[in-house]
Amino acid sequence: MAPARVVQQEDPLIRAIWNQLSAQQQDVLRVLALGVGQLLSVEVRDRYGLPGASSVQKAVEGLLTRGVLVRDEDALQFDSPFVRRWVQREVAPDVGGPG
């Protein structure tokens, strides 16, 4: 089954998970879905309107605990490629991008 079709079928479940996340957790996922790393850097936080480093770290830890994100060596990854694709399609455009 094509990934886009899986994302479409899983939309209600993914949306329910999304709606349970804090605004900061949602923002972290939006930025990660855009392929941006180094969430704690001043440049990234300023560019994408993320809060201070400690707040970003707290949001990341919550997402790791919930199993939405996983650590892959030193990088953060979505646990599910379908959730990543959903975020890219549905809500990632809501954050400011390079410009």
- Give percent of the chain with pLDDT exceeding 90: 71
Domain boundaries, the chain: 3-92
pLDDT at 4: 81
Just give the CATH number of 3-92.
1.10.10.10
pLDDT at 95: 64
Q: What would the pLDDT profile of 69-91 be if each residue is shown by its tens digit?
A: 999 888 899 999 999 999 998 88
Distance CA 26, CA 42 (A): 19
Q: What would the pLDDT profile of 46-72 be if each residue is shown by its tens digit?
A: 999 999 999 999 999 999 999 999 998
